[in-house]
Structures are given as C-alpha cells and as structure tokens.
C-alpha cells in the first residue's frame, strides 16, 4: 500500500513540476515576469517539500544520499533569487525518481501460485465412510483417499502401489512408481488410480508447507539493491559541501556556494544512469527476456556463479522417444503405429511423445475402434482389428518378464530411459524407450555464459546421479549435484557465493526457494507462468535458453554505459564546481552549464538502447525457411539412422543374410548422402554467417566428409563380398558389423552436433 502511494506521489510531482516549469516559461515569453517567477518559485518549493522527508529519513538511518545536495541547491536557488534553476532541479528530481521506481520495481507475488495450488480439504476414511475435512484438521495416523489428478494434501505412507507426478517437488517430468509402504510427500499429484495413504505429519509440518516457508524465508534473505547514486554519494556529497563551504569562506560571498550547489545537482546520477538501465531492460525484452527492474539487471551483470536446474532448463522438460526395440518376429514401426493410433485418445503424459514419434516417421495413424484408460498402468483398445495394449512393462509381461523384456529393462537402465511396452494380440511386440533430451542450445548457452563472465556453473537436480552426470558432461558444467531437494539447492547457492554473485536458473515450483534466495533468480516460462517465474528476477519468455547469455551481455553493457554516463557527467560537474567556487560561474550560467552536462550524460546513457557488437545471431526470413526445410529432412532421416544399428544387430556369422545391409546401403546412398551434401552446401554457410565465424562450423564439415567416407567404405566391402548365400565369410560379417556400428556412432554424434550448432538457432515448434 505504501509503495503504491509512493509511486502515485512520484508521478504527481513529475506532472505538477513539469506544468509549473512550462507555465513559467509561457508567462516569461508573454512578458509576465512576476507570474513566471511565482510559478518557478512554486516549482522549487514543491521540490523541497518532495525531497526533504526522504533526506531527513536517510539522515536518521545514517545512510548517505545525494539528495542532500538537491535540498541545498533548491534552498540556495530560492535564497539567491534563481527560481528557474530550482524549478528545473525539481523536474529533474521527479523524473529521476519515477524512472528509478519503475526500473527497480519487482514482482512480489511469488507465493500466489504456491498457495493457490495447496489443497484446502482432505478426504478422510472413517468407519462411517468418506468425509471431507479441512486439510488443517488431518491428524497423524488418519487414512486419506487421494483421487486421480489430486494433490496429496499431507505427507503419508502408501497402503498400496501408486504412480505420482512429483515434478512440483523434484522438477522431474518422469512419473514415479511407489510401492506399498513407501512414503509419499504432500505436493505431488496422483497420476494413477485412487490411492489410500496413512498420514505421518500434519498439514502445518508437511513437505509442501515447508516449501512455501522456504520461499518466504529465502525472499526475506534477499539483499536489497543498493543504488549507484548512493555508492557515489559516499565521496561526492562531502566533497560538494566542502567545496561550497570553502568557496563561501574564502570569498565571503554566499552566491559562490549556491553556484557550486547548483552545478553539483547530481542529475547524471538521478537521470542518466536510470535511462541506461531502462534501455537495457528494453533491449533484453526484445530478446525475449523480462528483467524485473534495474536492481535485477545490475545483479545479473555481475553474476559470477550459476546454479542450474536440469529438467526444462538444460533438457526439454518433456519426454521424447529415443529408441524402439522390436520383439522377435515383430516390426518396430508397425508396433509404434498401432501404439500411437491407440494413444491418440489418451491424456497420459507419455502418449503425446509416442504419437509425435510415429508422425515424425511418416506412419499413418487410424482411430481406435475401442479404447480404455487403465489408471496407473496404460491404455488398452482395438486398432484395425488388433487388440493393443500400451503401458507399464509389468502390466504387459506380468511379474516374471521373459528374456527380451529383461534385456529391454537393462537397456533402459543403462540409458536412463523410461520404457513403455506395446502388446499386439496378446504378444509383446516392441518397447518404446523415452528420454528427456538435452536442449540442443544448452551447450552453446554454457559456453556463451562463460564468455559473458560466469566463472562457475553447477548443475543441481533432483534426478538420478547417472542421468545428471550424463547431462552435465554433454553441456559442460563444472560440477553436478544429483538427487537434490529444495533445501539442497539452497545449500548449493550458499556454497557458491564464495565465487561471487550467484544466479539460479530453474523452471519448476521446487526451484522457487532457490530462485528467491539467489542474488538473481532466472525462470523459464516459455510454456506458461509458474511459481518459479513469480519468484524469479529474470524470466525467459522464449524457448531458447541461450537467450540468458544474451541478456547477461545486455546487462553488462547497460551497467557499463550507466557507469560511463555517471563518470563523464559527474567528472564534468566537478570541473564546473571548481570553476563556480573560483567565481567564474554565476548560479544562472552554472545552471545552464549543468543542463548541458546533463544532456551529454543522457546522450551517453541512450547508447544502451542500441544493439551491442556482441548481439545474438540474426537470421533473415530466408535463412529461417532454409533451416526449417533442412531440419524437416534431418528429422525425417532419424528412422534410417536407427536402421543402421538394427541391421548390425541382426547380422549373424552362421548363414549370413546380407540383403538387409544391401537395402540399407541403397537407402544411405539415395537418401542420406544427398541430404548431407545439401547440408554442406546450404547449412554450413548459413551457420557460419549467423555465428560470424567459419571456424565454428569446421567440425560440422568434417563430420559430413566422414559420413560419406564411411558409406563409401561400406559400398566397397559389400561389392567385394559379392552375391549369394555363401559369399560372405565370418570375417566379412565381423568387418561389416564393425563398419555399421562405426557409421551409427558417427551419425548419432553428427546429428547431435547439427542440433546444437545449427538447428538450435531457431527453436523447434512445440518443443
């Protein structure tokens, strides 16, 4: 309430002071000097009434402030009969206050989404039946029923196995299966059938309540932004008073002292610096980064240690199909087609990625004749006369999986993947492996952040250690902290403060405490507002994490320009103050000179509006269209790349059949190589132009050449073997398998390289 009144008062003073100054100018122009003087005196008095309370309050708190110079200058202007100078000073003060208030304002609604999401009631099971009670009335030992899609209201212990979405607490998008007897925390969402829990805490001491308290405490611990003007005031205010007093004492003329004060009015501090900061905020907004105030921008500019969440920040935050494993005697693509056809009607979190993978492979989907969602297990239905089930491995294979299912489980564990089995007409047909993929632009973001001045980057995630370590290696962070709770992330921030100002980057509710506690909290909100975006100082509204490095460069440049404008303006003011003290500048001429200095300082500050030399890569519409076309071809070749590995897997030394390898070679020569040559001719020059360096794409060109070299070697080998069932010996099969696995590895690495260096320049739609 006080802040709102203060903002309205600043605006009122700005408008009234402008009207008084302009009205006096009109009166003077129309030969009414008395009216002009009265209006300018009123403007000066308004400035005194406006600035004096804040100056007195700062003095009582023993906080240095440049406002004392403004008070003395306004009073002195009235004393020596220079009301015009006083009216101008009032306008400058009001303008600076309004700009500063807007630039330094920050949202304080970080608890709104947390509290709105918190359950208000709980369903308690009693001998008389089910009763709905206020969540605060739930006691330890109560039996509560949590329906599908509901938030668990209080920490408890499961009475039966259940599936939960724990992303609110861990930030991980993968559904978690909990067995009977396991503990479940409040704040997670029941993603399966209705489940019964036995409460182990009260609502006040539960996990979710503790999360809300963490946000409150962390927000309270955030250090306030100290204005640049206040820092300069420590030296500037005493110097000004000493010089003005010395001039009066030496000459015996109080006019000289007033002239010094008028010239010393710190408008470069009050106006030029906020203009540079506001310009930086505007530049960042055009890059898709909302910085909540000048304080946040300055802190972002000096950020040296960064803690980054994984899910949704360094990874997509949404599962994607990474591999297909066909069961013996089944076709993987056909199994995927049937599964995706059935999943079209499912709202399960894994249904969307399966449908997308099928469409990306060009498979034709049909609507199922019947469909049934089995909570916590999967989907069953009929597609084109086939009985199809898609869901959890234990639901498909039962408690005793066969050799193929165990192999799938082992492969999923090694890759850190989720597995979904597809059953067709009562037989397991294929396994769909899903992963949360690393963002293609994440490694470039890390490199750009280091170039922008970040000395240390730590990955802190609630995910498993092996998955976290893999992501950390790919993107190039300095340290990986896995299986982190919100409290662990706060502890990590505290440790990183020894390396400098801290920046926290995240996108989940679980990140809100750390976002509020860090010197700068950065949230990703491209997929919608969350509690993290409310708690953060900086919000990325584009689905491109590299924009954070762009914003940091903008912040550093804006801060540098702000300091330059202050240094030049105050330096010239010091020269003018000396001249005024020596009697070379009367108050009227000094006021005019001060306005020239102010305009110069403002002109320097306005450079922050212009783009810097190190702005983000700019792409023309033609370049974007070219990237989109090549990316479509690139994605369409993914099944062919996976086919290389499957053909190698199917080779046997006993009676080898090389027909699949020959068919694969034909596809590589007619589909893959033309695409790679087109990439070399069109994609490589485009990326080099966008990044401003041909060295940046040298590795891309080298991998194009290596792919073609490996395909040529494959052609030579198959031509040398000849046709016929007995043409290939065991040593030929070994060499062929070696070539295929080598080509597969090169293709996978090359595709990841293209995603990172080229296609990440324009984010994919929908992901």
Give the Cβ contact number of residue 8 at 10 Å. Answer: 10
Mark whether 466 is an active-site residue. no
Based on its alpha-carbon atoms, the radius of gyration of the chain, rounded to whole angstroms, reads 34
CA distance 170 to 148: 20
Phi, psi of 516 (to 5 degrees): -75, -30
Query: Element (H or E) spanning 523, and its range?
Result: strand 520-524
Pairing relationship of beta strands 370-374 and 378-383 according to DSSP bridges = antiparallel
Task: Report whether 288 contacts 532 (CB < 8 A).
Answer: no
Element (H, E) at 14: helix 2-29
- The secondary structure of residue 151, as a DSSP letter, is B
List 142, 155, 309, 623, catalytic entry? 309
Find how far residue 26's CA is from the centre of its chain.
52
**Are residues 512 and 531 in contact, defined by beta-carbon separation less than 8 angstroms?**
yes
- Compute the distance between CA of residue 206 and CA of residue 343 in angstroms, rounded to an integer: 36
Q: Which tokens sit at 672? A: 């893959």
Q: Are strands 176-178 and 162-165 parallel, antiparallel or unpaired?
A: antiparallel
3-state secondary structure 315-353: ECCCCEEEEEEECCCCCHHHHHHHHHHHHCCCCCCCHHH
**E-assigned strand segments in 147-252:** 156-158, 162-165, 176-178, 183-184, 189-190, 195-199
Cβ atoms of 577 and 264 within 8 Å: the answer is yes
Name the H helices within 512-620: 512-517, 531-535, 547-581, 587-605
Active-site residue set: 309
């Amino acid at each position: 309430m006080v802040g709102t009144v203060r903002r309205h008062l600043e605006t009122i003073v700005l408008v009234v002071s402008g009207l008084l100054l302009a009205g006096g100018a009109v009166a003077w122009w129309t030969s009414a000097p008395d009216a002009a003087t009265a209006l300018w005196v009123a403007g000066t008095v308004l400035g005194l009434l406006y600035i004096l309370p804040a100056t007195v309050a700062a003095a009582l708190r023993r906080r240095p402030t440049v406002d004392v110079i403004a008070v003395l200058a306004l009073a002195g202007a009235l004393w020596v009969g220079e009301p015009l100078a006083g009216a101008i000073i009032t306008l400058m003060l009001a303008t600076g206050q309004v700009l500063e208030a807007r630039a330094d304002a920050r949202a304080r609604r970080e608890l709104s989404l947390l509290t709105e999401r918190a359950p208000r009631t709980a369903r308690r099971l009693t001998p008389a039946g089910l009763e709905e009670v206020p969540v605060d009335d739930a006691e330890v030992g109560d039996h509560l029923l949590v329906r599908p899609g509901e938030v668990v209201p209080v920490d408890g212990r499961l009475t039966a196995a259940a599936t939960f979405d724990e992303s609110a607490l861990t930030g991980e998008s993968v559904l978690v299966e909990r067995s009977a007897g396991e503990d479940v925390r409040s704040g997670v969402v029941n993603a399966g059938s209705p489940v019964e829990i036995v409460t182990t805490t009260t609502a006040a001491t539960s996990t979710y309540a503790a999360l809300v308290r963490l946000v409150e405490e962390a927000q309270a611990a955030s250090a306030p932004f100290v204005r640049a003007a206040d820092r300069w005031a420590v030296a500037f205010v005493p110097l000004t008073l000493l010089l003005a007093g010395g001039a009066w004492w030496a000459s015996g003329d109080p006019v000289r002292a007033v002239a010094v004060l008028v010239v010393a009015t710190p408008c470069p501090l009050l106006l030029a610096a906020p203009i540079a900061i506001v310009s930086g905020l505007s530049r960042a907004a055009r890059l898709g980064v909302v910085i909540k105030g000048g304080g946040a921008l300055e802190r972002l500019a000096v950020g040296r240690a960064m803690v980054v969440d994984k899910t949704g920040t360094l990874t997509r935050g949404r599962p994607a199909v990474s591999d297909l494993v066909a069961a013996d005697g089944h076709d993987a693509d056909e199994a995927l087609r049937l599964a995706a056809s059935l999943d079209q009607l499912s709202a399960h979190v894994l249904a969307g990625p399966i449908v997308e993978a099928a469409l990306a492979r060009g498979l034709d989907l049909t609507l199922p004749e019947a469909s049934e969602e089995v909570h916590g297990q999967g989907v069953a239905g009929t597609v084109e006369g086939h009985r199809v089930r898609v869901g959890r491995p234990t639901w498909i294979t039962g408690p005793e999986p066969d050799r193929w299912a165990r192999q799938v489980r082992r492969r999923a564990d090694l890759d850190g993947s989720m597995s979904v089995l597809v059953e067709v007409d009562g037989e397991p047909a294929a396994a769909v492996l899903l992963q949360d993929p690393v963002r293609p632009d994440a490694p470039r973001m890390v490199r750009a952040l280091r170039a922008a001045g970040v000395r240390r980057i730590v990955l802190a995630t609630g995910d498993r250690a092996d998955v976290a370590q893999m992501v950390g290696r790919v993107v190039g962070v300095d340290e990986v902290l896995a299986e982190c709770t919100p409290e662990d992330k706060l502890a990590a921030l505290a440790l990183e403060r020894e390396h400098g100002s801290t920046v926290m980057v995240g996108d989940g509710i679980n990140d809100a405490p750390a976002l509020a506690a860090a010197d700068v909290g950065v949230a990703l909100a491209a997929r919608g507002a969350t509690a993290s975006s409310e708690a953060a100082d900086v919000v990325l509204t584009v689905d491109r994490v590299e924009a954070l490095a762009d914003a940091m460069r903008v912040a550093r440049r804006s801060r540098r320009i702000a300091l330059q404008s202050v240094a030049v303006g105050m330096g010239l003011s010091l020269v003018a103050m000396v001249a005024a003290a020596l009697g070379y500048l009367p108050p009227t001429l000094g006021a005019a000179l001060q306005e020239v200095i102010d305009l110069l300082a403002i002109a320097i500050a306005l450079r922050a509006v212009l783009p810097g030399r190190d702005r983000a890569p700019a792409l023309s519409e033609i370049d974007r269209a070219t990237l989109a076309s090549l990316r479509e071809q690139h994605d369409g070749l993914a099944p062919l790349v996976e086919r290389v590995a499957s053909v190698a897997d199917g080779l046997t030394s006993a009676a080898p059949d090389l027909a699949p390898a020959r068919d694969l070679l034909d596809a590589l020569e007619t589909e893959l190589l033309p695409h790679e040559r087109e990439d070399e001719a069109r994609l490589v020059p485009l990326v080099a132009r966008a990044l401003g360096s041909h060295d940046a794409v040298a590795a891309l060109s080298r991998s194009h050449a290596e792919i073609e070299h490996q395909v040529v070697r494959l052609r030579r080998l198959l031509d040398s073997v000849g046709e016929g069932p007995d043409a290939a010996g065991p040593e030929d099969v070994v060499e062929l398998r070696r070539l295929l696995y080598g080509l597969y590895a090169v293709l996978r690495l090359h595709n990841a390289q293209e995603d990172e260096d080229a296609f990440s320049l324009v984010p994919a739609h929908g992901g």
